Amino acid sequence: MILETERLTLRPLTEADSAPLHEIMSDPDAMAHWDIAAIEDPDLTDAIVNSQIEAMDTGRARHWAITRTADGAFLGVCDLSDIDRWHHRGEIGYLLGREAWGQGYGLEAMRAVVTQAAALGIRRLTARTHVGNIRSEQLLVKLGFQIEGYLRGHIQRDGERRDCHLFGLLL
Ligand SMILES: CC(C)(COP(=O)(O)OP(=O)(O)OC[C@H]1O[C@@H](n2cnc3c(N)ncnc32)[C@H](O)[C@@H]1OP(=O)(O)O)[C@@H](O)C(=O)NCCC(=O)NCCS
């Protein structure tokens, strides 16, 4: 399903997106608050993209490449994952390259994803941030999410455990 917004085109992720996505996933700043550290090996990015395509094929998730409609530039990726059809819920995620930050693209893309989730019958969305990921938490609040929990030591990264915030939105 392709999603169009004022400035963006969100289209289903393909294997060809692995190369531009690796540019972002190898950037330590973009990955500062991601569950895994910046990726050096492009084969690992390939494997992640392939597993996401497989999750789409089985209906567990939707993954999109976020592109700027005016020039086709690849800005990043976003997703609706862990889709639970029985309980009508799912989780959202997003990752933009640094040069795309601060222009409202994240909000614009994720508003379209939330609308699409509602159209799919999803009634509850969750998102999880590493504590301190201010940009992401501001984005979630703009989308209407509320903080629902504090997950102590939820992530193992760079030899340490990290705390996370759980956010939720009822649709
Ligand atoms: C989190 C992330 C997606 C936010 O992306 P973003 O596009 O900068 O976020 P927004 O859409 O909310 O944009 C907000 C900024 O754009 C500015 N902006 C400029 N033009 C705008 C417009 N037309 N509409 C809305 N905001 C606009 C806002 O003023 C705001 O600036 P500020 O942060 O200085 O106040 C991005 O920082 C990212 O990919 N980070 C790394 C990955 C990550 O941590 N993902 C989340 C894991 S939980």
In this prediction, residue 158 carries a pLDDT of: 96
State pLDDT tens for residues 138-153. 999 999 999 999 999 9
- Residue 130 falls within a domain, yes or no? no
In this prediction, residue 122 carries a pLDDT of: 98
* Residue 145, SS3 per DSSP: coil
Give the CATH number, domain containing residue 24: 3.40.630.30
Backbone angles phi, psi at 145, to 5 degrees: -70, 150
What does the block give as tokens for 125?
Answer: 């969305």
* Reported pTM: 0.97
- Residue 145 falls within a domain, yes or no? no
Report the alpha-carbon distance of residue 76 to residue 23 in Å, rounded. Answer: 10
In this prediction, residue 67 carries a pLDDT of: 98
CA–CA distance from 45 to each of 97, 99, 149, 154 (Å)?
15, 20, 30, 23
Per the structure, the count of domains in the chain is: 1
- Its sign, for the CA torsion 77, 82, 84, 87, is negative
Query: Kindly report the CA angle at 146 between 145 and 148, in degrees rounded to 5?
Result: 130
- The CA 137 to ligand 1 mean position distance, Å, reads 10
- The CA 48 to ligand 1 mean position distance, Å, reads 24
Q: Closest residue (by CA) to atom 7 of ligand 1?
A: 106
Q: Closest residue (by CA) to atom 32 of ligand 1?
A: 102
Ligand 1 pocket test, pick from 136, 138, 165 with the greatest ligand atom count within 8 Å of Cβ, gives: 136
- Residue 149 falls within a domain, yes or no? no
| Residue ranges making up the domain that contains 36 | 3-123
Residues touching ligand 1 (Cβ under 6 Å) are 30, 33, 76, 94-96, 101-107, 129, 133, 135-136, 139, 142
In this prediction, residue 113 carries a pLDDT of: 98
- Residue 113 falls within a domain, yes or no? yes
- The band of 76, judged by pLDDT with boundaries at 50, 70 and 90, is very high
- Residue 144 falls within a domain, yes or no? no
State pLDDT tens for residues 16-67. 999 999 999 999 999 999 999 999 999 999 999 999 999 999 999 999 999 9
- Residue 146 falls within a domain, yes or no? no
- The CA 103 to ligand 1 mean position distance, Å, reads 6
* Residue 59, SS3 per DSSP: coil
- Residue 29 falls within a domain, yes or no? yes
State pLDDT tens for residues 105-139. 999 999 999 999 999 999 999 999 999 999 999 99
- The CA 101 to ligand 1 mean position distance, Å, reads 5
Parallel, antiparallel, or unpaired: how do β-strands 124-130 and 89-96 relate? parallel
- Residue 138 falls within a domain, yes or no? no
